[in-house]
Structure 1
Amino acid sequence: MSLDADALVDRRRMRRKLSFWRGAAFILVALVVIAGIAYAAGFAGIGKRSAHIARLSIDGVILENRDQLKLIEKISKAKAVKGVILSINSPGGSTTGGEALYDALRKLAEKKPLVAEIRTVGASAGYMIALSADHIVARYNSITGSIGVLFQFGNIAKLMETLGVQMDAVKSAPLKAEPDFYTPTSPEARAMLKTLVMDSYDWFVNLVAERRGLSVEEARSRADGQIYTGHNALDLKLIDAIGGEDAAISWLETERSVAKDLPVINWSVDEDQDGLPLASSMSQSLGEGFAKGLTGSLGAAKGLIPRGLTLDGLVSVWQAPEAADENP
């Protein structure tokens, strides 16, 4: 008899637990669905439906990013956006990535007042994209400039010789796949790369001249690869004013007739989920958690690759010198 009583008690406990988890699961699903429907209806982005200034942040290394380009196009079509602050904190990146971003931003500037704010650093391709704006501000001690193009490659021929490894190749022409990492770079290959770099460099210089109202000679004199503080850049006419976001907003209000005291709202690729009609902050967080776990593993592996080898093609990037080890 006691065994039956114990079994009955256990059964009731199991039923309570099962009911609890069923209820919790139902509530969780309901929250996701409700949040998704609200997002699709526009409630999640209600702030972006009223007049505001859009802040578009460009941080880190610049690469060609299709999602970012789509976001810029979306901002250009948003009627509620009355002006755009391009907030830059980037040492540069690939030249083609900078070019694609610059072109998209120029199209945006044709529809919306665009001002660039260089924060800690806006150098190389970071400065290139600042040129897309009709007004550039930077802090007194912001780092900018580094106007130029770089093509880096390594060679481990001596190491392979030490290890007793020999590489060979059959080519359709002497310059095919040059330079490689296992033979000394030929004068012909070096000349080819020089032509490639200088062609891209001339394009960059002409862009600076055109956008900053300088002669090509003046632009070239500033494009020797050196970096400048915001103060130096102002003297060289590479930027228009010293200041931060407040100065950028003031310019929009006084020079582009943007209404005063409009809120500044972030526009970012991470928040732009219109491709998923029922996306909600909860479901997005779950996806981001998985993605971060995956990219964290990949990032650890990528850390084994030297920094100069992680960008393909021509590079326009300022590489901050690493601190030297101090002897005790």
Structure 2
Amino acid sequence: MEQADNRAEAGNGAGPASDDTRVAYRLQRRRLLFWRVLALVACVAAFWMLFLPGHRQGPTDSIARLEIKGIISDRMQATVEAIDRLASDPHTHGLLLVIDSPGGGVTGGVAIHDAIESFAARKPVAVSMQGVAASAGYMIAAPARRIFAYPSTITGSIGVIMIRPDASTLLERIGVTADTITSGPMKDQSQPFVPLKPEGRAMLQGVVDDLFDQFVAIVAKGRHRPMEEIRKLADGRPYTGRQALPLHLVDQLGDEKQARLWLGAQIRDGKTMPVREVSTQKPPKTVWEFIHRHFGGDWFAMPEALRQFARYHALDGAVAILPR
């Protein structure tokens, strides 16, 4: 009887102790799992930061591939800097430029054009036009040694457009007046709150005409054609790749693979050289920026159509873009 009581007492004492041990063990396992997962994430992040696109792992001779897609804004400094780095890199022997853009800001187009022209003066450049490479999208292709396009590619559309809204009538209807105090009679003619005067229209037309002359000169120089020949083609109309070929706006109908093969043939040992993707994104400065860019960035991004619409309507001043 005493032995049974002793076993009961021992059992009653062991119960709470056993429960506490199990709880402590579970907490310890959870903490261990947390730190293991955290260590795994840190290792993956470190790996990606070491092997980000555009980071070289050694001085390997290669052909650079740069894709320019969507609307060209006037803030393309990262792209310009990337092209300049490629031009001065002794291990980059050529540039495969893949364009799928309806155009955009004149200033952004000229900046990229000038960078590609500088590159092309030292190393060969081939362009592969995709679905559309028009207006400023065609401008940046002009300095290339050879331009490839699909028969269905929409290209050309050489011209400049400036949209100047006039909201003055609407303001009058709702009883709002806009008084402008200017330093000269032309200063308010680009504003949408005052009517456009004949002399204001002439002034803005002069700006567009000058930008258009620059565009024509860029294409004539890049394509090695007379100015007047290009001017006749540059009434703003788009051309298909098949239409552009006899007009000397493109050199060959073909895809990106054919452009790559042609470019490799222009470079010593270029046929066997690897093609290296070029990123215009700067390396992330923080771990959070890295995680947001590679794991969470697209979750919160607006749809591509809305993003392009927003970029288009953010363009200010004269633009070289395929009308939609």
Aligned to 1:324: none
Kindly provide the CA deviation profile for residues 128-183 of structure 1, in whole angstroms up to 9, marking residues without a partner as x. 00012111111111111100111112122232222222222222222113222222
Residue number among 143, 155, 158 corresponding to 1:147 in the alignment: 158
Instruction: Indicate the residue corresponding to 2:28 in structure 1.
Output: 15
- Aligned partners of 1:32 and 1:283 also within 8 Å: no
* Aligned: 1:164 with 2:175: yes
8 Å contact from structure 2 (residues 45, 290) kept in 1: no
Aligned ranges 1:89-108 → 2 under 5 Å: 89-108=100-119
Question: CA separation in 2, counterparts of 1:43 and 1:147?
Answer: 32
Q: Which residue is equivalent to 1:286?
A: 292
Equivalent residue for 2:72, pick from 53, 62, 67: 62
Which shifted more, 84-93 or 261-270? 261-270
Counterparts of 1:18-97 in structure 2, within 5 Å, are 18-33=31-46, 36=49, 38-39=50-51, 45-46=56-57, 49-63=59-73, 64-97=75-108
Q: Aligned in 2, Cα 1:85/1:301: closer, same or farther, shift over 3 Å?
A: closer
Residue 188 of structure 2 aligns to a residue whose secondary structure is coil
Cα distance in 2 for residues equivalent to 1:144 and 1:72: 23
Aligned to 1:319: 323
Q: Residues 97 and 91 of structure 1: is their aligned pair in 2 closer, same or farther, counting only changes over 3 Å?
A: same
The offset of 1:73, in angstroms, is 1.6
Name the TM-score, length of structure 1 as normaliser: 0.83
- Residue equivalent to 2:7: none
Go from structure 1 to structure 2 and tell me whether the alpha carbon gap of 1:131 and 1:296 turns closer, same or farther (over 3 Å shift): same
Match in the other structure for 1:323: none
1:313 corresponds to which letter in structure 2? G
Q: Is the 8 A contact 1:252 1:258 kept in 2?
A: no
Residues in 2 aligned to 1:43 and 1:267: alpha-carbon distance in whole angstroms: 5
Kept after mapping to 2: 8 A contact 1:206/1:216: yes
Q: Deviations over 1:273-297 (max 9, x none)?
A: 3x75x98xx9734345555566539
**In the TM superposition, what is the alpha-carbon distance from 1:79 to its structure 2 partner?**
2.8
Q: Is the 8 A contact 1:149 1:201 kept in 2?
A: yes
Residues 285 and 28 (structure 1), Cα distance of their counterparts in 2 relative to 1, 3 Å cut: closer
Distance 1:129 1:58 in 2: 10
Structure 2: how far apart are the matches of 1:218 and 1:287?
A: 46
Q: Which moved more, 1:99-108 or 1:69-78?
A: 69-78
Q: Which structure: larger Rg?
A: 2
- Residues 185 and 117 (structure 1 numbering): CA distance in 2 closer, same or farther, change over 3 Å? same
Asked if 2 retains the 8 angstrom alpha-carbon contact of 1:83 and 1:258, the reply is: no
Structure 2 partner of 1:212? 223
Q: Distance in 2 between matches of 1:43 and 1:146?
A: 32
| Alignment partners' CA distance in 2, 1:30 and 1:263 | 28
Deviation at 1:248, TM superposition (A): 1.5
1:117 match: 128
The root-mean-square deviation of aligned C-alpha atoms, in Å, is 3.1
* Distance in 2 between residues matched to 1:227 and 1:206, nearest whole Å: 18
CA contact (8 A) 2:45 2:291 kept: no
Count of aligned pairs between the two proteins: 310
Q: Which residue does the alignment assign to 1:246?
A: 257
Counterpart AA for 1:141: S
Q: Give the SS at the match of 1:86.
A: strand
Q: Is residue 320 of structure 2 the alignment partner of residue 310 of structure 1?
A: no
Asked if 1 retains the 8 angstrom alpha-carbon contact of 2:180 and 2:188, the reply is no
In structure 1, what is the Cα distance between the partners aligned to 2:130 and 2:32?
54
Instruction: Name the CA shift for 1:291/1:175 in 2 (closer, same or farther; >3 Å).
Output: farther
Say which SS state the counterpart of residue 203 (structure 2) adopts. Answer: helix
TM-score (norm. length: structure 2): 0.84
